[in-house]
Amino acid sequence: MRELSPSEKRTLAVLGLPTAALALGITVVTTYVPVVAQDFLKSAAVIGALIAIEGILALWLPLVVGSWSDRLRSPIGGRLPFLIAATPVAALALALMGLVHSLLLLAIIVTIFFAAYFVAYEPYRALYPDLVDNDIAARAQSTQAVWRGAGTGIALVTGGMLISIGDWVPFVAAALLFLICMGVFLAIALPRARAANHSRRRHADSETALDEAQGLGQILRASPALREFLVCNALWEASLGALKTFVFLYVAEGLGQSEVATSAIIGGVAVLILPAAIVSGKLADTYGRVRVMSTVLPFYGIGMFVPAFTTSIAALIPVMILMGFGGGLVMTLPYALMQPLMPAGQHGLLTGFYSLSRGLGTALGPLLAGVAIQVLHGPFSGTDGYGAMWLVCGGTILASVPFLSMLRRRAGHIIDPEG
């Protein structure tokens, strides 16, 4: 494992800023919109459906935007114009969420935010294979996961305290931080993009975004490994989606903790994501990405079942430590697993494919968890039904293990050529 050069370290540091902003924004939405919505929505399934809008948009929008960013010609390249256009829209939608108390209005604002999120995220994510060599891909994703953990942690630690002041406070605060992080990144990146634009690789002018998106079907038919990755990542994201949507309500309503105490508990687990992201990236580059994932996921999945059947703090503390490490792993390595499988010249399109796989999970996870909470409320009445969410969180992780084993047999030598 070679050392990162100073220029590579600077590149990874700058590239991480939008991740912090986007993670902050989407964590506030997926965690605290359910808290606000429960004041006028009594159905966990409806709340899950509201958050599942993210997954529904992810089934098509990332493919269009990602492939479009492969083709776009501009003085600042093909990726940054999308970030510039989406940033103010996402920030405004974020600021408005805590001010509405109608399902229809909230659904519209949430949809606008998720749409702007994907318009920014897909071209931004494609900057990684554009600028980062494959032999440091896992460490690049580790660095990105640290930024993601920072954004997620800030949202979780401060959100509960801010929402106790007023429903609108965490959303407005998140919108301001979102603008600051994205603004700093663009201020640094724009001059570099102008200088480097002449060397960017483009497709032929005759190709359209629709042509490229339709070509994804051909790529998937020719690559069983990508199909297996799609299933794996969808299941991982289903687990994360279920967790993010209902974990605050599980601790606050199910365990009877105050909003401030809930933020402290969840924030403490989120802090563990940071060292886990760093360690998992180094382990993956040293021992192999697929091997590390295959080793950790069974323990992570089994551990996720424990909170469903006990509220004992003594039992939950070691589980929370495992959950923090496993969550950091699942947030860090999937894109690094996929990067070696991406055809040259189609980084934007395949980044859209990556988000499509995420979208399947982010649509199903909250929906399945919401249904489980309602249907199994009786057996899990001790936690007001919210303990049932852990069955979805753990079950989807364990369901991914056979597909990861198939991916390892089929493409392990491509993903980890030195493994």
Q: What is the DSSP string of 75-102?
A: TTTTTHHHHHHHHHHHHHHHHHGGG---
Residue of higher predicted confidence among 10 and 373 = 373
Q: Is the dihedral of CA 403, 405, 410, 411 positive or negative?
A: positive
Give the domain ranges of the chain: 8-193+218-415
Residue of higher predicted confidence among 213 and 135 = 135
Mean pLDDT for the chain? 85
Per the listing, tokens 């709340």 go with: 47
- pLDDT of 116: 96
179: three-class secondary structure by DSSP: helix
pLDDT average, residue stretch 254-259: 88
Q: Encode 237-247: b = buried (16+ Cβ within 10 Å), e = exposed.
A: bbbbbbbbbbb
Question: The tokens of 54 are what?
Answer: 């993210």
Count each helix (H run) and each strand (E run) in the chain, helices first: 18, 0
- pLDDT of 276: 77
Encode pLDDT of 338-392 as tens digits. Answer: 888 877 666 666 777 887 888 899 999 999 999 999 999 999 999 999 999 999 9
- pLDDT of 207: 52
With vertex at residue 237, the alpha carbon angle to CA 273 and CA 167, rounded to the nearest 5 degrees, is 70
pLDDT average, residue stretch 145-153: 83
Q: φ and ψ at 312, to 5 degrees?
A: -70, 125
Q: 397: how many CB neighbours lie within 10 A of its CB?
A: 26
Q: φ and ψ at 356, to 5 degrees?
A: -60, -45
Q: Name the fold adopted by 8-193+218-415.
A: Growth Hormone; Chain: A; (1.20.1250)
- pLDDT of 274: 73
- pLDDT of 409: 92
Res. 270 pLDDT band, cuts 50 70 90: confident
CA distance 276 to 246: 23
Encode pLDDT of 57-90 as tens digits. Answer: 988 888 788 778 877 888 888 888 999 999 999 9
Res. 160 pLDDT band, cuts 50 70 90: confident
CA distance 172 to 91: 9
Encode pLDDT of 271-294 as tens digits. Answer: 777 787 778 777 887 888 899 999
Q: φ and ψ at 196, to 5 degrees?
A: -95, -5
Q: Residue 132 above 60 pLDDT?
A: yes
- pLDDT of 148: 84
pLDDT average, residue stretch 10-22: 87
**Nearest in space to 142 (alpha carbons), one of 308, 318, 9:** 9
Q: Residue 205 above 50 pLDDT?
A: no
Q: Is the dihedral of CA 396, 160, 125, 214 positive or negative?
A: positive
CA distance 259 to 127: 38
Question: The tokens of 59 are what?
Answer: 């089934």
**Nearest in space to 81 (alpha carbons), one of 89, 90, 73, 92:** 73
Return all residues near 301 (Cβ < 8 A) that are at least 6 apart. Answer: 394, 395, 397, 398, 401
pLDDT average, residue stretch 297-305: 94
Q: Residue 193 above 70 pLDDT?
A: no
Question: The tokens of 326 are what?
Answer: 């496993």
pLDDT average, residue stretch 322-333: 82
- pLDDT of 206: 42
- pLDDT of 366: 95
Q: Are 377 and 385 in contact (CB under 8 A)?
A: yes
Q: Are 51 and 359 in contact (CB under 8 A)?
A: no
Listed in sequence order, the DSSP H helices in 272-388 are 273-287, 289-303, 306-309, 313-332, 334-338, 347-375
Encode pLDDT of 308-325 as tens digits. Answer: 998 887 777 788 788 878
Q: Are 404 and 293 in contact (CB under 8 A)?
A: yes
With vertex at residue 93, the alpha carbon angle to CA 84 and CA 73, rounded to the nearest 5 degrees, is 20
- pLDDT of 212: 57
- For the CA atoms of 345, 350, 351, 357, the dihedral, rounded to the nearest 10 degrees, stands at 180
Q: Residue 337 above 80 pLDDT?
A: yes
Residue of higher predicted confidence among 218 and 124 = 124
Return all residues near 267 (Cβ < 8 A) that are at least 6 apart. Answer: 153, 156, 157
- pLDDT of 131: 74
Encode pLDDT of 82-120 as tens digits. Answer: 999 999 999 999 999 989 989 999 999 999 999 999 999
Per the listing, tokens 């860090």 go with: 332
Percent of the chain with pLDDT strictly greater than 90 = 43
